[in-house]
């Protein structure tokens, strides 16, 4: 198995309230080819977990290993691992407001590949896949919420990530757009890829292969269908 995420005894406390373990000693393996949904009440640690997995934040204790890379806090290598291996989609504000849809999508690839023309061609292809070709030159504030998220998905995919992390990606969308985004997200499933998303929507959560429930910093597996 060449792609995996192993978290071991992962614990997170914040400076502001050190007595609360936002994540409490979590051990779990995420496996390739599977989709994982994370549910749980507001404040239960969903975003905290996703921020640790995306190497944006550091754990207070415990370890993360991504496909043989042992993650050390504040390692410059983390930025490289994130850029190459992880695609991230948030609820909103995914895109840089001063750049067009096309620029938003191709820039992360340009940073890694240094090949502008190739990056643009690839970005156009991905934008086409999410049905947004007619708006490549629009700025984020000229796009609807659903359109922003479709571009955000194209952007998250530009470096062909092994891991896709989505934190309530449809939290600000109406139900038709939410369905479309989740359809696109589930279509991205492949045997090497790990897709993890947080949602408050039971229907979308149930579509995942593995359902995780967060509660008071603890993680409970609801069922594992594969
Ligand atoms: N930067 C921070 N500083 C202090 N506390 C934080 C910070 N980020 C999150 N928290 C706290 O951690 C808990 C979990 O937050 P979060 O992971 O955002 O939950 P969820 O995404 O499930 O709503 C909350 O109680 C929140 O107040
Ligand atoms: Mg959250």
Q: What is the per-residue pLDDT across 9-59, written as a single tens digit (0 to 9) for each? A: 999 999 888 888 999 999 999 999 999 999 999 999 999 999 999 999 999
Q: Token digits for 181? A: 């985004």
Paired tokens of 157: 């995919």
Give the residue numbers spanning the domain of 139.
Answer: 5-224
Closest residue (by CA) to atom 20 of ligand 1? 43
CATH number of the domain within which 159 lies: 3.40.50.300
Query: Does the beta carbon of 199 lie inside 6 Å of ligand 1?
Result: no
How far CA 149 is from CA of 13, 32, 71, 78, 102, in Å, comes to: 31, 24, 29, 25, 13
Q: Which atom number of ligand 1 is nearest to the Cα of residue 217?
A: 14
| CA of residue 45 to ligand 1 center, whole Å | 6
- Is the predicted pLDDT of residue 7 greater than 90, yes or no? yes
Q: Tokens at residue 195, please?
A: 């897709």
Query: Using one digit for the tens of pLDDT, what is the confidence trace for 90-147?
Result: 999 899 999 999 999 999 999 999 999 999 999 999 999 999 999 999 999 999 999 9
**Minimal-distance CA residue to ligand 1 atom 13:** 43
Q: What is the rounded distance in angstroms from the CA atom of residue 106 to the CA atom of residue 72?
A: 28
Nearest CA to ligand 1 atom 27: 43
pLDDT at residue 212 is higher than 60: yes
42 close to ligand 1 (CB < 6 Angstrom): yes
d(CA 158, CA 142): 22
Q: Is 169 in the pocket of ligand 1 (CB under 6 A)?
A: no
- Specify the number of domains making up the chain: 1
Residue 22 CA to ligand 1 center (angstroms) comes to 7
Neighbouring residues of 57: CB distance < 8 A, sequence distance ≥ 6: 12, 48, 51
pLDDT at 18: 83
Alpha carbon of 49 to ligand 1 centroid (Å): 10
C-beta of residue 197 within 8 angstroms of C-beta of residue 171: no
């Amino acid at each position: 198995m060449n792609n995996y995420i192993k978290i071991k005894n992962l614990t997170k406390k914040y400076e502001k309230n050190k007595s609360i373990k936002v994540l409490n000693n979590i051990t779990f393996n995420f496996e390739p080819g599977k989709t994982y949904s994370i549910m749980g009440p507001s404040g239960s640690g969903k975003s905290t977990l996703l921020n640790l997995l995306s190497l944006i934040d550091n754990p207070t204790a415990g370890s993360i290993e991504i496909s043989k890379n042992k993650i050390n806090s504040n390692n410059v290598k983390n930025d490289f691992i994130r850029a190459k291996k992880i695609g991230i989609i948030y609820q909103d504000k995914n895109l840089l407001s001063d750049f067009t849809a096309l620029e938003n999508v191709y820039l992360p690839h340009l940073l890694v590949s240094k090949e502008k023309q190739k990056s643009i061609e690839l970005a156009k292809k991905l934008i086409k896949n999410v049905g947004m070709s007619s708006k490549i030159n629009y700025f984020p504030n000229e796009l609807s919420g659903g359109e922003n998220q479709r571009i955000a998905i194209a952007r998250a995919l530009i470096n062909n990530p092994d891991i896709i992390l989505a934190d309530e990606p449809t939290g600000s969308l109406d139900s038709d757009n939410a369905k479309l985004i989740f359809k696109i997200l589930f279509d991205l499933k492949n045997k090497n890829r790990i897709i993890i998303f947080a949602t408050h929507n039971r229907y979308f959560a149930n579509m995942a292969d593995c359902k995780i429930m967060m509660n008071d910093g603890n993680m409970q597996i609801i069922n594992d269908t594969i």
